[in-house]
Amino acid sequence: MAERQLLSGNEAVALGALHAACARGTGYPGTPSTEILENYDAIGGHAEWAPNEKVAAEVALGVAFAGARAMVTMKHVGLNVASDVLFTAAYSGVQGALVFVVADDPGLASSQDEQDTRRYGMAAGVPVIEPADSQESYDYIRLAFTVSARWKMPVILRMTTRVSHTTAIVQPADVIESPITPHFVRDIPGRVMIPGHARIKHKALRAKLAEIQAWCETEGPNVLYPGSSGVGIVSSGVASMHAREACPDAALLKLGMTYPLPFKLILDFLHGQSSRYVIEENDPVLVEQIRAAGGDVPWNPEPYRMGELTVDRVRRLLKGDATPEATPPKGRSPRLCHACPHGYVFDILKKHDCIVSGDIGCYTLAALPPLAAMDSQICMGASIGIGLGLRHVLPESEARRVVSVIGDSTFIHSGLTGVAEMVFNPPPTGHVLIVLDNLTTAMTGQQEHPATGRRLDHTPTTRIMIEDVVRAMGIKNVTVLDPVRQTAELEATLLAALKTNELTVIVGRQPCLLAAGRIRSYEQKG
């Protein structure tokens, strides 16, 4: 018998993927999903960081087109980036298997929104499987690969913070799957999604989903906990755990597949209850669909769709308490490390009252007091486009103060096209872009990226030099400076650039304080 272990949900996904004969795991770091690939690599899987989630998904799709199994991991907003792949891969299907492991962040522990990945399943026509704890994370990644392989289509495994980052007991299975030998089988109508081919695939997709729905009714990963009080609850994910604790006498139908839904199972369950509830985190995805199918479940009061659920919030919900909830007292906010290189740059930007179009990374913390030196942050790479938009229309005196600030990993992720826009449609006053290059993907835990020169496992590879790329794209004024040791020069270069009507890129390069030691040891080894 395989040994029981304490694993986080992320570790359990990694182990389950390995046991499911996954050939390659790809992804981009994003809390709370990041540890999946790190663990997968540590236990012997082939894991890679891609420049962004779209490329990661494309690589995984290629693996699946070759007849092998792939998983691509990301946080919820990462699926926005990969969604172009998701929608068309639902039509093309796969020959092997492909699982999108997407980790949502209800309550926004570290994200720019709390969007609900289950809606992507509905929109794209892709099954969604939701584990509620570490054991299910292990079991359901394996199930996701099985469903994907059986119906030859992508599947979404939807995690949330409290599943990914909760450590609990896992009993791995004894049987693990044998490796699959990839082989290319030509299928032009199946993989070239021109309209004539795609029309046929759309019909085929709906037929597959109907089959999966029928399978889900009788063989799906749904669990019925009998009750004694006449209260019936439909739930999924970790919210089902809170519900079981809050209301131990209720009957509870825990859905493991939340798209397509087993409507017959759900309606039969609800029919036998004297009062009915749906307990779900974030969007009312289950409530909407169940009501549309004729189920008599109430809407939950609006405040409960925001923030993560807890046992206490579920107790309130079940009592019908829609009064304002007490705001929990705030702990100490995160901040830039003392002497972080980013601080030097933001001090300069603040001193000169720059309008800072910012981006996503540790440097986003500069938006908080006492620095309060970042004016916008929307999505990966937006710093450049938003800065240009501001410059195009603001009166000249204001336009000249606009600076875009982006990190090194974010630059490779989605900044290249922003620089293309910079040279293609330059504003009349020009523009200034500062790339904060701390030689790592810092906020998510110091991962590698294409401009560090090392792969996920820290082995050497080609290093993309940011300043070379930017010059090659047509920017003439490019300077690389150390923000810590060349602060005065950086300030002078910035001020001079703001006065001209030219395009300037300043690369401020100094290793992240937390990563510096390890970077040195990798460089010595390489």
Partner 1 sequence: MKTEQPINIRIAGLGGMGILKSSHILAKVLFRAGYDVKLAEVHGMSQRGGSVTSDIRFGKKILSPMIPNAEVDFLLILAPEEIELHRPSLRPGGILLNALAFDTVALPNRKSLNIALLGTLSGYLDIPIESWQLTILDSFPQKLHAINVESFTTGRNLAQGGAR
331, 369, 370, 428: residue in contact with partner 1 (rule CB under 8 A): 331
Q: Could you tell me if 169 and 6 are in contact, meaning their C-beta atoms sit under 8 angstroms apart?
A: yes
Give the range of 57-65, 165-173, 347-355, 501-509 binding partner 1 by CB under 8 A: 165-173
Nearer to partner 1 by C-beta: 5 or 477? Answer: 5
Under the binding rule (CB under 8 A), the answer on residue 168 touching partner 1 is: yes
- Residue ranges in 301-359 assigned as alpha helix (H): 311-319, 341-351
**How distant, in Å, are the alpha carbons of 92, 129, 186, 323 from that of 88?**
6, 20, 18, 44
Give the range of 185-193, 326-334, 394-402, 480-488 binding partner 1 by CB under 8 A: 326-334
Tokens representing 305 are: 């769709």
178, 228, 333, 524: residue in contact with partner 1 (rule CB under 8 A): 333
Sequence-ordered strand ranges (E) for 412-469: 431-437
Taking the C-alpha atoms of residue 313 and residue 433, their distance in angstroms, rounded to an integer, is 45
Nearer to partner 1 by C-beta: 254 or 391? Answer: 254
Under the binding rule (CB under 8 A), the answer on residue 517 touching partner 1 is: no
CB of 270 to partner 1, least distance (A): 22
Which residues are CB-contacts of 320 (< 8 A; sequence separation ≥ 6)?
A: none
Under the binding rule (CB under 8 A), the answer on residue 161 touching partner 1 is: yes
- 334-353 binders of partner 1 (CB under 8 A): 334-337
2, 123, 169, 224: residue in contact with partner 1 (rule CB under 8 A): 169
Nearer to partner 1 by C-beta: 88 or 310? Answer: 310
Tokens representing 29 are: 């770091």
- 172-201 binders of partner 1 (CB under 8 A): none
In the β-sheet with 477-481, what is the strand arrangement from edge to edge? Answer: 355-357, 402-407, 431-437, 503-509, 477-481
Q: Could you tell me if 50 and 25 are in contact, meaning their C-beta atoms sit under 8 angstroms apart?
A: no
Taking the C-alpha atoms of residue 76 and residue 33, their distance in angstroms, rounded to an integer, is 9
Nearer to partner 1 by C-beta: 182 or 445? Answer: 445
Nearer to partner 1 by C-beta: 384 or 443? Answer: 443
- 260-319 binders of partner 1 (CB under 8 A): 310-312
CB of 247 to partner 1, least distance (A): 11
Taking the C-alpha atoms of residue 254 and residue 451, their distance in angstroms, rounded to an integer, is 44
Dihedral pair phi/psi, residue 136, rounded to 5°: -70, -30
b/e 189-221 (16+ beta carbons within 10 angstroms → b): ebbebeeebeeebeeebeebbeebbebbbeebb
Count of positions on this chain that bind partner 1 (CB under 8 A): 36
46, 150, 165, 458: residue in contact with partner 1 (rule CB under 8 A): 165
Under the binding rule (CB under 8 A), the answer on residue 110 touching partner 1 is: yes
Under the binding rule (CB under 8 A), the answer on residue 244 touching partner 1 is: yes
Under the binding rule (CB under 8 A), the answer on residue 362 touching partner 1 is: yes
CB of 309 to partner 1, least distance (A): 9
- 45-104 binders of partner 1 (CB under 8 A): none
Nearer to partner 1 by C-beta: 3 or 353? Answer: 3
- 385-444 binders of partner 1 (CB under 8 A): 443-444
Nearer to partner 1 by C-beta: 340 or 475? Answer: 340
Taking the C-alpha atoms of residue 511 and residue 508, their distance in angstroms, rounded to an integer, is 10
Taking the C-alpha atoms of residue 508 and residue 516, their distance in angstroms, rounded to an integer, is 15
Q: How would DSSP label each residue in 36-72?
A: HHHHHHHTT--EEE-SSHHHHHHHHHHHHHTT-EEEE
Nearer to partner 1 by C-beta: 335 or 392? Answer: 335
CB of 219 to partner 1, least distance (A): 25
Under the binding rule (CB under 8 A), the answer on residue 44 touching partner 1 is: no
Residue 85, helix vs strand vs coil:
helix
Cα angle for residues 258, 260, 261 (degrees, 5° grid): 65
In the β-sheet with 251-255, what is the strand arrangement from edge to edge? Answer: 223-225, 251-255, 231-236, 275-279
Nearer to partner 1 by C-beta: 475 or 519? Answer: 519
Nearer to partner 1 by C-beta: 69 or 242? Answer: 242
Nearest to 255 by CA among 266, 245, 243, 270: 266
Query: H or E stretch including 414?
Result: helix 408-414
- 479-508 binders of partner 1 (CB under 8 A): none
Under the binding rule (CB under 8 A), the answer on residue 109 touching partner 1 is: yes
Taking the C-alpha atoms of residue 406 and residue 520, their distance in angstroms, rounded to an integer, is 24
Taking the C-alpha atoms of residue 271 and residue 478, their distance in angstroms, rounded to an integer, is 68
196, 226, 329, 370: residue in contact with partner 1 (rule CB under 8 A): 329
**How distant, in Å, are the alpha carbons of 30, 289, 377 from that of 441?**
10, 39, 17
CB of 275 to partner 1, least distance (A): 21
CB of 485 to partner 1, least distance (A): 23
Under the binding rule (CB under 8 A), the answer on residue 473 touching partner 1 is: no
Under the rule (CB under 8 A), what is the footprint of partner 1? 6, 31-32, 34, 109-110, 133, 161-162, 165-169, 238, 241-242, 244-245, 310-312, 329, 331-337, 362, 365, 443-445, 514
